[in-house]
Amino acid sequence: MKVKRDQITGLALVILGIVMLVLISQFKKPITAEYPGPRMMPGIAAIGMIICGLGIFVNGCRQKTADKTVITKAGMLRVVITFAALCLYILGMQYLGFLIVTPLLVFGLAVYFAKASHVEVKIWVCIVFAVAVTAIIWAMYVPLFGMELPVGSLFE
Amino acid sequence: MLAYLPYIFTQLIQPMNLLLMVAGTAVGIIFGAIPGLSGTMAVMLFMPLTYTMESSTAVIFLLALWIGGCSGAFIGSVLLGIPGSASAVATCWDGHPMAKKGQAGKALAIGMTASFCGTFFSAIIGGLLAEAVADFAFAMGPWEYSALCLVAMTMVLAISKGNMFKGLASTCIGILLATVGYSPIDAEARFTFNNMYLLGGLGMIVVLTGIFAVSHILVTFGKGFDAPPEVSKEGLKGFGLTLKDIKDELVNIIRSFLIGLGIGFLPGMGSGLSNLVAYSTAKNGSKHPEEYGHGAAGGIWAPEVANNAAIGGAMIPMAALGIPGDSTTALLIGALTIHGLEMGPMVFKNSGDVVYLMFVTVAVVAALVLLMQAICKRWFPYILKVPSWYMYSALLVICLASAYVDSGNLYKCGMMMVFAAVGILMTLGDLPASPLILAFILTPTLETKTLQAFQSVPKWTEFFTRPVSCVLMVIAIFCIFSPIFKGLFAKLKKKKA
């Protein structure tokens, strides 16, 4: 028998709810009938998650039709690659700063997104686009609204 | 209100405010028009830009983004048959068939005029009614407030598609995320794991942009971007609407306006529901219901007037009670709090000038949107042709820049990626997003008011012995179980038949 999506979602919610209940039990202030204190809201949410998780799990067990595919395996790989690129970008900003890593990311993503969509893009257009986007965002945040963007620890 | 008019006028004619109003409106229209983006996302992404602004300037900019986004949503519906956002779903049903008949110009003109009518008049009514509602709210104590917050959270469940467990689970996740950091009143650190970045809470921008914007872009890419659509430019010259066209639909316009205003006023509801209700009412009330779905003008007027009228309706509880009418007003409440404007009955006493500025700004932006859309109508097809690979790569950078600017450290950018992963998992698990936003924004108020209530009278039964809170609690309980009631009613109907 194939496991249904709702069964996985339900089970995940139940486990998360139980973990939350364990964490809530470590709060110092107890919950009483006279004053619910800091345990009340997270407690309600955790119990709610367990109940909903069980409900979703049962619905998943009753479901007779097959699940519709939300994202294919190839699509999921694209999501993971983009996600990893964004994490690397954050790390890059830490050391090299916004102005150096942003054009690289925008260029890389624009080319990758277009390739994945089976579209041929001109490299020079992507370079101009990446530089322009970086310049516009930097100009908007830093000189125009007086905010800061990462300079990079190597240049501080 | 009249006493504030000189202040409002001076704010609106300031060059910086005017510039930001025009820029915000243009950006909002673009975000509203492109399927997959929305005015809510525009408000979310550009909110950190307002941190260094005066509160009046921030209000004008954020409202321009919101109104532009709401009004622009019909463009995608008419030209592509794909709604720019949930508020323009019903507009597709007649807007696109009318465009296919070669009357795209007329369909767009109806959309523009209907958006203007809905927004402009609802803002005026909202401005006139909000203070009266606030005066009434003064009589409400913490018990009533807690119950009202619960109603706002649960009402969205009543309209959640799919099963109620998923909507409720999403609400619970929102509550849990909102409880990270020091608890109100007792100041106990919760779920902080001795991490100093978590003590002050997770932060609205980090959570909401991660879960909704970043994850949405990644999921859209995972599903595969659509190629830029072919859009017909036929019939886009001229305004395309006469006074007679408006006269013919006057009853429909007024009825849809009242539906939108009423639904917008209900906590937790919004333009997503109002356009559907107004469309079906217009179809049922029409002399020619058979024309609906084949390009009937009434089928564009009704949803567009209603979804924009919901704006003024949603602003009444937002200003007077501090309770959001929909997810965008929830975001705005958060943004205004950052600017020191605590929405609720007291806001009219403490910052009446800024509150009335909000209503007047909405009315002015409605007129500006109409003007800009009328001038730029022939360029609408080009907005829809922006290639996804350029647009989304730039938006991802803006998301991360927002997270950095919001907190001043890259740790929060990392946290945003964690929430992006949460958002992706939620999409895979088919959990709806709106309940999470409302719960995340409302939980601090709900918790504070409930704890205050228990400090005054330490009894749970107070919720049901006070008339107002009792009525509200009954409504909240009904909303939670409404999907079960709906199922029972449907079974009873079948049996009778």
Q: Which residues pair with B189 in a beta bridge?
A: B182
pLDDT tens digits for range B33-62: 887 778 888 888 888 888 888 889 999 999
Q: Which of A90, A110, A140 sits opposite B393 (nearest CB)?
A: A110
| Residues spanned by the domain of A58 | 5-62
User: What b-and-e string marks burial along B111-127, b requiring 16 or more CB atoms within 10 Å of the CB?
Assistant: bbbbbbbbbbbbbbbbb
Domain contains A153: no
Do A81 and A125 lie in one domain? The reply is yes
DSSP string, A99-133: HHHHHHHHHHHHHHHHHHTT----HHHHHHHHHHH
**Higher pLDDT among residues B229 and A125, named by residue:** A125
Q: Helices B298-321 and B89-98, interaxial angle, to 10°?
A: 150
- pTM for the whole structure: 0.83
Mutate to test the interface with A, among B149, B192, B393, B449 (most CBs of A within 10 A): B393
Instruction: Tell me whether residues B165 and A56 touch, CB distance under 8 A.
Output: yes
| Residues spanned by the domain of B184 | 2-496
> What's the CA gap between B295 and B297, in Å, rounded?
6
**Overall number of domains in chain B:** 1
A119 shares contact with chain B (CB less than 8 Å): yes
pLDDT tens digits for range B210-246: 988 899 899 989 988 776 666 666 666 666 778 888 8
Do B303 and B279 meet the contact criterion of CB atoms below 8 Å apart?
A: yes
Interface of B with A in 215-234 (CB under 8 A): 218-219, 221-225, 227
Q: Which residues contact B28 (CB under 8 A, 6 or more apart)?
A: B39, B42, B64, B65, B66, B67, B68, B69, B70, B71, B72
Confidence of residue B161 (pLDDT cuts 50, 70, 90): low
pLDDT tens digits for range A50-73: 999 999 999 889 888 887 888 889
Do B72 and B66 meet the contact criterion of CB atoms below 8 Å apart?
A: no
Tell me what pLDDT residue B420 has: 94
Do A57 and A85 lie in one domain? The reply is no
Do A42 and A80 lie in one domain? The reply is no
**Overall number of domains in chain A:** 2
Tell me what pLDDT residue A114 has: 92
Do A79 and A137 lie in one domain? The reply is yes
Do B296 and B280 meet the contact criterion of CB atoms below 8 Å apart?
A: no
Confidence of residue B270 (pLDDT cuts 50, 70, 90): low
Phi-psi region of B85 (alpha: psi -120 to 50; beta: other; left: phi over 0): beta
Tell me what pLDDT residue B415 has: 93
Do A56 and A102 lie in one domain? The reply is no
Residue B25 has pLDDT above 80, yes or no: yes
> What's the CA gap between B177 and B17, in Å, rounded?
35
Do A17 and A44 lie in one domain? The reply is yes
Instruction: Tell me whether residues B176 and A86 touch, CB distance under 8 A.
Output: no
Tell me what pLDDT residue B158 has: 65
Confidence of residue A31 (pLDDT cuts 50, 70, 90): confident
In percent, the amount of chain A with pLDDT more than 90 equals: 65
Residue A79 has pLDDT above 70, yes or no: yes
Residue tagged 């321009």 (tokens): B64
Interface of B with A in 293-332 (CB under 8 A): none
Residue ranges with strand state E in A9-127: none
Which whole-number Å values give the CA distances from B480 to B12, B37, B92, B158, B474, in the listed order? Answer: 43, 30, 31, 7, 10
Mutate to test the interface with B, among A31, A56, A95 (most CBs of B within 10 A): A56
> What's the CA gap between A55 and A63, in Å, rounded?
12
Domain contains A140: yes
Do A140 and A77 lie in one domain? The reply is yes
Tell me what pLDDT residue B340 has: 82
Number of A/B CB contacts below 8 angstroms equals 198
Do A80 and A137 lie in one domain? The reply is yes
Among B460, B475, B344, B366, which Cα is nearest to B124's? B366
Residue B317 has pLDDT above 70, yes or no: yes
Structure-block tokens of residue B141: 């104590």
Do A36 and A84 lie in one domain? The reply is no
Which residues of chain B make contact with A149, given a CB cutoff of 8 A? 401, 404-405
> What's the CA gap between B103 and B82, in Å, rounded?
17
Which residues of chain A make contact with B172, given a CB cutoff of 8 A? 17, 44-46, 48-49, 52
Which residues of chain B make contact with A53, given a CB cutoff of 8 A? 165, 169
Instruction: Tell me whether residues B428 and A5 touch, CB distance under 8 A.
Output: yes
Tell me what pLDDT residue B230 has: 67
| Mean confidence (pLDDT) of chain B | 85
Among B184, B431, B424, which Cα is nearest to A48's? B431
Structure-block tokens of residue A12: 């995940």
Interface of A with B in 53-72 (CB under 8 A): 53, 55-56, 59, 70-71
Among B249, B355, B361, which Cα is nearest to B306's? B249
Among A133, A140, A123, A134, which Cα is nearest to A100's? A134
Please compute the mean of the pLDDT values over residues A8-31 and round it to a whole number.
93
pLDDT tens digits for range A86-113: 999 999 999 999 999 999 999 999 999 9
Q: Could you give phi then psi for residue A3, rounded to 5 degrees?
A: -75, 135
Phi-psi region of A65 (alpha: psi -120 to 50; beta: other; left: phi over 0): beta
